[in-house]
Chains A and B, each alone.
Chain A
Amino acid sequence: MREIHVNEIVSAVEKLFVDANYNLSQNVFDMLNKAAEKEDSPVGKEVIKELIANANLASEEQIPICQDTGLAVTFIEIGQDVYITGGLLTDAITEGVRRGYKNGYLRKSCCHPFTRKNTGDNTPPIVHTKIVYGDQIKIVALPKGGGSENYGEVRMLVPSQGKDGVKSFVLDMINKGGPNPCPPIIVGVGIGGNFETSALLSKEALMIPLGERNEDPDIAALELELLDEINKTGIGPQGYGGTVTALDVHVKMLPCHIASFPVAVNIQCHAHRIKEIII
Chain B
Amino acid sequence: MEIKRITTPLEDNVIEGLRAGEKVFLSGYIFTARDAAHKRFVDALENGEALPLDIKGQVIYYCGPSPAPPGRVIGACGPTTSSRMDAYSPKMLSLGLKGMIGKGKRTQAVKDAMKIHKAVYFGATGGAGALLSKSVISSETIAYEELGPEAVVKLEVKDMPLFVINDIYGNDLYEEGKQRYKK
Given that A180-B83, A238-B103, A238-B126 are contacting pairs, would A233 and B178 also be in contact in the complex, using a CB cutoff of 8 Å? yes
The answer to whether residues A64 and B75 also contact, given A57-B131, A239-B177 and a CB cut-off of 8 A, is yes
Q: Which of B75, B130, B178 has the most CB of A within 10 A?
A: B130
Candidates B1, B66, B125, B183; contact of A67 at CB < 8 Å: B66
Partner of B178, one of A46, A147, A180, A236: A236
Nearest chain B CB to A177 CB, angstrom units: 9
Is B33's beta carbon under 8 Å from chain A?
Answer: no
User: Which residues 234-259 of A have a CB within 8 angstroms of B?
Assistant: 234-236, 238-243
Partner of A109, one of B69, B149, B181, B183: B149
| A interface residue numbers (CB < 8 A to B) | 40-44, 46-47, 50-51, 53-55, 57-58, 61-69, 105-109, 116, 118, 120, 145-147, 150, 178-180, 182, 232-236, 238-243, 269-271
For B69, give the chain A residue with the smallest CB separation. A105
A61 to B129 alpha-carbon distance, docked (Å)? 12
- Asked if B130 and A105 make an inter-chain contact with CB atoms under 8 angstroms apart, the answer reads no
Instruction: Report yes or no: A234 in contact with B76, Cβ–Cβ below 8 A.
Output: no
The answer to whether B58 has its CB under 8 Å from any CB of chain A is no
The reply to whether A69 and B66 form a contact with Cβ atoms under 8 Å apart is yes
- Least CB distance from B136 to A in Å reads 12
User: Does B104 lie within 8 Å of A50, measured CB to CB?
Assistant: no
11 contacts between A and B (CB under 8 A): A43-B163, A50-B161, A54-B131, A65-B76, A66-B78, A66-B129, A68-B129, A107-B67, A108-B149, A180-B83, A242-B177
Bound complex: CA of A147 vs CA of B79, how far in Å?
10
Is there contact, CB below 8 Å, between B129 and A182?
A: no
Complex contacts, B21 vs chain A, CB 8 Å:
43, 240
Q: With A43-B1, A107-B64, A232-B182 as given contacts, are A67 and B177 in contact (CB-CB < 8 Å)?
A: no
Measured between alpha carbons, how far is A146 from B179 in the docked complex, in Å? 27
What chain A residues lie within 8 Å of B77 (beta carbons)? Answer: 67
Label chain A's interface by main secondary structure: loop
Contact A178 B178 (CB under 8 A): yes
Q: Is the CB of A234 within 8 A of B129?
A: no
Complex Cα distance A275/B43, Å? 42
- Interface band, chain B: 35 or more
Residues of B within 8 A of A50 (CB): 125, 128, 131, 161
B53 to chain A, nearest CB (A): 21
Given the known inter-chain contacts A57-B131, A107-B66, please indicate yes or no for A232 contacting B183, CB distance below 8 A: yes
Min CB–CB distance A154 → chain B (angstroms): 21
The interface residues of chain A lying within 8 Å CB-to-CB of B150 are 118
Contact A179 to B103, CB < 8 A, known contacts A64-B66, A105-B66: yes
Any chain A CB within 8 A of the CB of B68?
yes
Contact: B183 with A180, CB < 8 Å?
A: no
State the Cβ distance, B62 to closest chain A Cβ, in Å.
11
Nearest A-chain residue to B82, judged by Cβ: A180
Given contacts A46-B23, A107-B67, A271-B127, contact A147 B81 (CB under 8 A): yes
A53 to B125 Cα, complex, angstroms: 12
Q: Quick check: A63 and B69 within 8 Å, CB to CB? A: yes
- Inter-chain contacts of B67 with A (CB < 8 A): 105-107
Report the Cα distance A107→B83, complex, angstroms: 21
Which B residues lie within 8 Å of A271 (CB)?
Answer: 127
Task: Find out whether the CB atom of B63 lies under 8 angstroms from the CB atom of A67.
Answer: yes
| Contact (A107, B65) CB under 8 Å given A46-B23, A179-B104, A234-B183 | yes
Chain A proximity mask over B162-183: 1 for CB below 8 Å, otherwise 0: 0100000000011011111111
A63→B180 CA distance, assembly (Å): 36
Which residues from chain B contact A236 at a C-beta distance below 8 Å?
A: 177-178, 181
**Nearest residue in B to A175 (C-beta to C-beta)?**
B178
Give the distance to chain B from A53, nearest Cβ to Cβ, in Å: 6
Residues of A within 8 A of B68 (CB): 105
Is B134's CB within 8 Å of the partner chain A? Answer: yes
